Structure 1
Amino acid sequence: MVNNCEGWGNNEDETRSNGGGRYDKGESWENKDDDSSNASYALLAHVRERGIPTQEPVLNKDGQLYSLETFTNCDKEGSSKQCGPYLGFSHRFFENYEFLWSLTETTRLREFYSAVKNDNDLEIVKSVVDAFERDIVPRYTGFTPGVIHGDLNEQNIIVSEVPGQRKVTCDQRVHDVIAILDWAHVTKSYFVFDIAINIAYLSIECEENKQLDVGGHILKGYANYRKINDVEFQSIPLLVCCRLCQSLVYGAHAYSQQPGNEYLISTAKKGWPLLRKYWNADFTNLLNKWKSMIESD
């Protein structure tokens, strides 16, 4: 059975074999290979062993974890608190693995500038990319390296409502993170990148007047598992801007390839205003506010 799924690729098809195994087949500018799949499965096992629920591969009818199939004539219509326990994983595949969505590849956004039609927004993107090259790349030696999830957004986090809140209104109830999904963007990079990615995506979905506070809340939770150094801390606001630029620019490019696939521009409505807000913010004042939030009881 093959069902079309909205996604970033030109054609992402969920395929279910007779044996119950599931895998994704996509024809896109984000390609996968056998080493990538093996490394991802190894990481998923590592994470589950440390108490973080995530998807578990199921053998297909041939007893394999996955298989690669070719389809022709297909219909082509269209918080971070739980991060700590899986840090420290290693696999040979991730040693030299880089791909378009890695924050280390931020300068490749220049290849996709034509997808941004608003001149003012394009100038912001160009400024962010230039700042990344000038200010972030030289700081790599001060960042802590490790394997990161790489796409810790609100759609990849499963939460469960904390019991005992029947008298609390739905929009005020507290939830715990109970599982993390979608490990397709895992790579060996820098831990601070995962923090920035998480802040970027969760800020998009936050109330507008609280968006710039999201970083403080995430960092306060993250501090329970790992301390970040000053170089990393100072870099986070700019890295958040970098991830927002990636999401918005690649989304615009993908949409130009698949007009009508609204998923591809799902972050654009709130994402562009957030990027403008972040880029115009005083980073020093923002970091001081986050520091106060982290140190508060």
Structure 2
Amino acid sequence: MTTRPPNNLDYVKQLAKRLYNIDINYIKELISYNDRNYHLITNESKEFILKIKNQLESKNRDQIDAINAFILHLHNNGFKVTVPMVNTNAEYMSYTDIPTDGELDQINGQKSYAIILMKYIPGKPLRYVPFTPTILTECGLMLAKMTIALKDFENMSLKERQFPYSLLRSVDSRQYITDVKDLNDRQLINECLDQFESLVLLRVHELKYAYIHGDYNEFNIIVDKTVGDRDDDTDNEYHMTGLIDFGDAEYGPRVFDLAVYLAYSLLMFTAGPQILAPGFGLKGYMQLIDLDTNELDVLYYCIKARLCQSLATGAHFYQLDPNNTYVLSSQETGWPALRALHDCQPKDILNKWLNIDEYI
């Protein structure tokens, strides 16, 4: 059963007033897998995102505090991220019940949902702009910068986190395979996850670990055509302006963060063959971070595993909540990308990615 919070716009307005003393003039629900996110504009034209965590993750306050610390560390290092705001009790988080059908949902007598208010980052998700070589390279470079900035971050709660949607747990998505309708696609997922299990998980101890975002995808990367600190704001190109949704942050192989990004970079790429898209993100990333041989050896299998995880999990969550079409966002272009990748020779496609300028 899904633990997604009920959607009650009137009550969200009340929460904003009670917990943060702000009066809401505009409210819009944003897409989310299993939380609720709302774009708020106050009577004073200030903009925020109010997040209501799902019941399962709301139980673990230590991990929510750890994620807030992760975000604040990046903010203090100059990254534009969704900074949490303190409430009227001078805390970054509150717990509350959300009314639904005249009743209140509770877990073991405790208030059910964690509430966090964050600064809004103007712009639009990368998903809604052309996936050009320039923007994909820039986002790869920004991921490398973030990885470097997190080298001096430390948090034991996050380091010990066992997150169900981590790439480390991608083989668990086999439990959702019956929600995938096509039998050939089920076989494809099994083959890809078998490869990940034998060629990545069995040697994961050989990979370099770091604190990672965990879901560096086209909906969480914010872009805009105007960047205030850029010398030339008139190039009419979209540029990365911010990063949102840190709910999947963890301590894991650093190549996993890159693989997640490269998997999603495939989805909307039209500037050339779809399977070449990861070359641009890899090019940007490797301007600052040289991947070692072990990381390069597993990159291809990690990208396929993330696509499998996204496709199978999306199909499952859609069965649970057919109104949440966001969970199907990878389906249309994700399946062709996975099939095309699976037909490639790993060393051949990696060589093309590493020498992407020769091909596009």
Return the TM-score normalized by structure 1.
Answer: 0.87
6, 12, 18: which one aligns with 2:36: 12
59, 80, 88: which one aligns with 2:86: 59
Q: Which has the higher helix share?
A: 1
Aligned to 1:140: 204
**Matched AA of 2:289:** R
Q: Sequence identity, in percent? A: 25
Alpha-carbon distance between aligned partners in 2 of 1:29 and 1:111, rounded to the nearest angstrom? 19
Q: How does 1:1-297 map to 2 (within 5 A)?
A: 1-2=11-12, 5-9=30-34, 12=36, 14=38, 23-27=50-54, 33-73=60-100, 79-87=139-147, 88=151, 89-161=153-225, 163-165=233-235, 173-207=236-270, 209-293=272-356
Gaps of 5+ in 2: 1-10, 13-27, 103-138, 226-231
**Matched AA of 1:64:** E
**Matched AA of 2:140:** S
Query: Residues 245-277 of structure 1, C-alpha deviation per residue, up to 9 Å, x if partnerless?
Result: 111111100000011321111211111111111
**Matched AA of 2:146:** Y
Aligned to 1:168: none
Tell me if the contact between 1:15 and 1:24 (Cα under 8 Å) persists in the aligned partners: no
Query: Residues 168-198 of structure 1, C-alpha deviation per residue, up to 9 Å, x if partnerless?
Result: xxxxx53332211111100000110011100
Gaps of 5+ in 1: 166-172
Alpha-carbon distance between aligned partners in 2 of 1:21 and 1:33, rounded to the nearest angstrom? 24
Tell me if the contact between 1:151 and 1:194 (Cα under 8 Å) persists in the aligned partners: yes
Alpha-carbon distance between aligned partners in 1 of 2:237 and 2:39, rounded to the nearest angstrom? 36
Alignment RMSD:
2.5
Query: Residues 76-125 of structure 1, C-alpha deviation per residue, up to 9 Å, x if partnerless?
Result: xxx12112333212211122112121011012112211111110000000
Whose RCO is larger (CA < 8 A, sep 6+)? 1
Alpha-carbon distance between aligned partners in 2 of 1:204 and 1:15, rounded to the nearest angstrom? 26
Alpha-carbon distance between aligned partners in 2 of 1:255 and 1:56, rounded to the nearest angstrom? 30
Alpha-carbon distance between aligned partners in 2 of 1:197 and 1:41, rounded to the nearest angstrom? 21
**Matched AA of 1:112:** Y
Return the TM-score normalized by structure 2.
Answer: 0.72
**How far apart are 1:46 and its partner, in Å?**
1.0
Q: CA distance change for structure 1 residues 136 and 229 in 2, over 3 Å: closer, same or farther?
A: same
**How far apart are 1:22 and its partner, in Å?**
5.8
**Matched AA of 2:312:** V
**Matched AA of 1:217:** F
**Count of residues in Structure 1 that have an aligned counterpart in Structure 2:** 283
**How far apart are 1:24 and its partner, in Å?**
2.3
Q: CA distance change for structure 1 residues 109 and 28 in 2, over 3 Å: closer, same or farther?
A: farther
Alpha-carbon distance between aligned partners in 1 of 2:299 and 2:211, rounded to the nearest angstrom? 18
Alpha-carbon distance between aligned partners in 1 of 2:172 and 2:162, rounded to the nearest angstrom? 12
Q: Which has the higher strand share?
A: 2
The structure 1 segments of at least 4 consecutive aligned residues displaced by more than 6 Å after TM superposition are none
Query: Residues 127-162 of structure 1, C-alpha deviation per residue, up to 9 Å, x if partnerless?
Result: 111111111112212211011001111111122336
Aligned to 1:169: none
Alpha-carbon distance between aligned partners in 2 of 1:45 and 1:114, rounded to the nearest angstrom? 40
Alpha-carbon distance between aligned partners in 1 of 2:319 and 2:288, rounded to the nearest angstrom? 41
